[in-house]
């Protein structure tokens, strides 16, 4: 049987495409005792509330019809956001040269957060240009790598 996130992604695909968006991510998580099914959308020029509403209505109906989740859950559709996490190799490839923040599980040189420019992605390792050097963070070290908005 396919994972709930994969089923949701396949059910959502037509509505997401019809809204002119792409599906950035799907998550099915438990928070504060409640299950949440979230679709994260992306679109050239940005996702707005009308995009989220259109996708939400269409996908909600498709989920009700297919009924792939036995227990109760809260369904949300939202923008992937300007400071979205990078998860897949394709995410990293898309944003090479962009400002990012790398968060580590354990401190390195007394720090757990490293801002810089994404310089590369090599077999799970994140290469970060800090402005003075390029630092390599192995996959096992990285808790999160997300885009960073600079003002």
Mean pLDDT of 71-97: 94
At residue 81, what are phi and psi to the nearest 5 degrees?
90, 155
Interval 27-56: pLDDT, tens: 999 999 999 999 999 999 999 999 999 999
Structural domain count of the chain: 2
Residue with the two structure tokens 């992605």 = 121
Whether 9 and 70 share a structural domain: yes
Question: Which CATH number goes with the domain that contains 107?
Answer: 2.30.30.100
Tell me how many degrees the CA angle 42-90-45 measures, rounded to the nearest 5.
Answer: 25
Cα–Cα distance for residue pair 53/85, rounded to 1 Å? 23
Mean pLDDT of 90-108: 96
The model's pTM: 0.84
84 found inside a domain: no
Structural domain containing residue 64: 4-79
Per the CB < 8 A criterion, the answer to whether 23 and 41 are in contact is: yes
């Amino acid at each position: 049987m396919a994972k709930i996130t994969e089923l949701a992604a396949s059910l959502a695909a037509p509505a997401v495409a019809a809204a002119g968006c792409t599906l950035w991510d799907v998550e099915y998580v438990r928070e504060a005792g409640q299950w949440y099914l979230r679709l994260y959308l992306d679109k050239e020029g940005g996702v707005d509330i009308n995009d989220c509403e259109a996708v939400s209505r269409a996908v909600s109906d498709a989920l009700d019809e297919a009924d792939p989740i036995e227990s109760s859950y809260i369904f949300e559709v939202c923008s992937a956001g300007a400071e979205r996490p990078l998860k897949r190799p394709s995410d990293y490839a898309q944003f090479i040269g962009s400002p990012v923040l790398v968060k580590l599980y354990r401190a390195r040189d007394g720090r757990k957060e490293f801002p810089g420019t994404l310089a590369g992605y090599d077999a799970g390792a994140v290469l970060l240009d800090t402005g003075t050097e390029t630092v390599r963070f192995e996959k096992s070290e990285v808790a999160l790598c997300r885009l960073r908005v600079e003002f």
